[in-house]
Amino acid sequence: MFSILRSLSVAAVSVDAGWRPYIVSISLCIFFCHVSCLKESDGVCSFAKGQQLRMVLKRLRTCCCCSAKHTDNDDKIDFGGGNVHVITSKETWDRKIEEANKDGKIVVANFSASWCGPCRVISTVYAEMSQTYPQLMFLTVDVDELMEFSSSWDIRATPTFFFLKNGQQVDKLVGANKPELEKKIAAAAGGGGGGVAPDAK
């Protein structure tokens, strides 16, 4: 699949300008069909494969005549709905963790990606839960924007949710499993139902 996309990206540069939109359209169809295949039964996207596909897509967009119509903002999603704080830097992360520690709040951190279908689906639910449970702090990290920082958390699939108390991980959930996420968040908020063990290390 990657070799086909690479060949099409080369063709988009070399052919007559009139054919470029058609080549790009074909390439985008292949890309998004493959992205849909990244969704597994438990609602996760492969972080490594997604990054490779995104790099190829960027090349296709920048080398064609319709690049002005297709920008990186086209596939962005709003991770900051509800009471969710979008983390844009390591400094912002540290500041929010310190704030949560001071207020005695458990942090729920969502590592997501705009190209990930399950991330898009669960982002709305996550935003709604951030309003339902104001006693928790909800953070979202776009793994594309903070790749090095995300790698330090050993993110292998998106979405990945971490539950932190006093800056330490107490629980983790991989995948857009809505019932399990709701269960863990309710437990973290003191609503019972299993999930986070507040004093676990």
CA distance 105 to 108: 10
Pairing, β 137-142 against β 84-87: parallel
CA distance 20 to 131: 46
Which residues make Cβ contacts (< 8 Å) with residue 30, sequence separation at least 6? 1, 4, 5, 8
CA distance 159 to 167: 20
In the DSSP assignment, the letter for residue 166 is T
Residues carrying an active site annotation: 116, 119
CA distance 199 to 123: 27
Residue 160's DSSP bridge partners are 111, 174
Residue 65 identity: C
